[in-house]
Amino acid sequence: MKIENWNPSEITRRQFIRTGAAGLAAAGMNPLVFGQTSKVPLKLPMRRYGRTGLNISSIIGASNMTPELIPLAVKAGVNYWHKADKWTPETMPAAIKSQPRESYYMEIIVPRVRGNHRTGVIEEEEHYQYVKDSLKKSGLRYFDVFKHYFGYHSIEEVKTNAGMIRAFERLKKEGLVKHLVLSQHHYNDIGGDMAYDILEYLIDNTPYEGVQLFFSYGAPKEMEEVVAYAKKKDFGTIAMKTMKGIGRAIEDDNLKAILEDPRFKGSRPGEATVKWLMSNPNLDAAVIAMKSFAEMEENFGAAMQASLGAHDRRVLDQLAAYNDGRTCMLCSECVSKCSEDIAIADIFRYERYAMDYHELDRARKEYSLLTKNGTSCISCGDCMSACGSHINIMEKLKDVHSLLG
Ligand code: SF4
Ligand code: SF4
């Protein structure tokens, strides 16, 4: 579907009414039958999250998950909640808080201060206070996991600024947090380092215990390698931005027609992608966006089967062909080529929020915060040869600006 013809709110509503938990309830069906009527026993495999030692569900949950799905997720074994600091005592789902506190893990994301993830700074005292204030607002006694949000700009910054680590250590002494992890992005666009290089240094030289990182089918070999290295060093890994291109692919009539062929029978793009993630022995868990009962059942069912069949591989090959020239893999290779310092990978990440997760409002909000957007492109073409996904970056920047600007 072309960007200009796409109406995310309409699709989301239509899909959700068709198969969502609320849709099921409206049709007089009890969404909580999930896991009882399914052919597979819907209980997610558990994995050890690296050095944290936590036994977490192979698909983790998030506080922005569709609320109707949270009881189903808990029932299926989801026990790790990303961005849990966004809940208050009033909004924290009963399905979670009715469980024994030690049976689930609550994660707080701790961002830079005095700016965004590029312009902000790491400042021990402010992070320390931020977590204390967040605890008060959440009504929790402690967060299981302190996540340094977006990570470091460079190896040099890791070496010279221990503010985030010191804030964690003070909070840990007071029993307010237990484990230290981070998410890590690429920062070559601001003269920093690539995520995989920063991670390799962190794994060997710091008290961080795990990472959340971009990892989807077709990931650059450096990301594959750092995930393997993390496993070797008992450093936890959770994949994020995993559903590359799938939201748009499953709505594309041409692709749907291709996948009708008997060669692909028994697999679908989302299912094949989840099996690909789960069959990676080096990866501990994944964040997988899902908005409906049907998506959740498909993803959880695939996570339980885990092994990739020949039909799944064929679907993944088709998906890769579909994404080629269309969907950004967020590798950031193009960014350092741009003399205009346009955050190309971020812009295309926001496009993925809109096109694959159907979160247009969030995408527009993030896009509006950029200091330079797609309109800053001078069409010099210098970035184009860097793109292994064969994306016409100049044209795509214009399309994305029409969608999000
Ligand atoms: S074509 Fe646009 S995005 Fe690419 S390098 Fe030139 S100015 Fe930057
Ligand atoms: S546009 Fe291409 S080179 Fe740039 S981040 Fe996306 S996939 Fe990588």
Pocket of ligand 1 (CB under 6 A): 337-338, 340, 342, 344, 377-383, 393-394
Ligand 2: atom nearest CA of 386 is 3
Structure tokens at 382: 């210098």
**Residue of 344, 377, 384, 395 to test ligand 1 pocket, by largest number of atoms within 8 Å of CB:** 377
Q: What structural domains and CATH numbers belong to the chain? A: 3-323 (3.20.20.100), 335-404 (no CATH)
Residue with CA at minimum distance from ligand 2 atom 2: 387
Q: Is the dihedral of CA 379, 381, 384, 386 positive or negative?
A: negative
Q: Is the dihedral of CA 242, 183, 346, 83 positive or negative?
A: positive
Rounded distance from Cα 405 to ligand 2 centre (Å): 20
Q: Give the number of the ligand closest to the Cα of residue 379.
A: 1
Residue with CA at minimum distance from ligand 2 atom 4: 334
| pLDDT per residue as tens, the chain (405 positions) | 332 332 333 333 334 334 444 444 443 333 434 444 444 346 899 999 999 999 999 999 999 999 999 999 999 999 999 999 999 999 999 999 999 999 999 999 999 999 999 899 999 999 999 999 999 999 999 999 999 999 999 999 999 999 999 999 999 999 999 999 999 999 988 889 999 999 999 999 999 999 999 998 888 899 999 999 999 999 999 999 898 788 888 888 888 888 888 888 888 899 999 999 999 999 999 999 888 888 899 899 999 887 888 999 999 999 989 999 999 988 888 998 999 989 999 999 999 999 888 889 999 999 999 989 999 999 999 999 999 999 999 999 999 999 999
Separation between Cα atoms, residue 1 and residue 328, nearest integer Å: 16
Rounded distance from Cα 391 to ligand 1 centre (Å): 12
Residue with CA at minimum distance from ligand 2 atom 1: 328
Residue with CA at minimum distance from ligand 1 atom 3: 377
* Cα angle value 24/358/9 (rounded, 5°): 70
Pocket of ligand 2 (CB under 6 A): 328-334, 344-345, 348, 386-387, 389, 391, 393
Rounded distance from Cα 298 to ligand 1 centre (Å): 39
Ligand 2: atom nearest CA of 348 is 6
| Secondary structure, 3-state, 287-355 | ECCCCCHHHHHHHHHHHHHCCCCHHHHHHHHHHHHHHCCCCCCCCCCCHHHCCCCCCHHHHHHHHHHHH
* Element (DSSP H or E) covering residue 344: helix 344-356
* Cα angle value 228/233/239 (rounded, 5°): 45
Residue with CA at minimum distance from ligand 2 atom 8: 331
Separation between Cα atoms, residue 194 and residue 123, nearest integer Å: 22
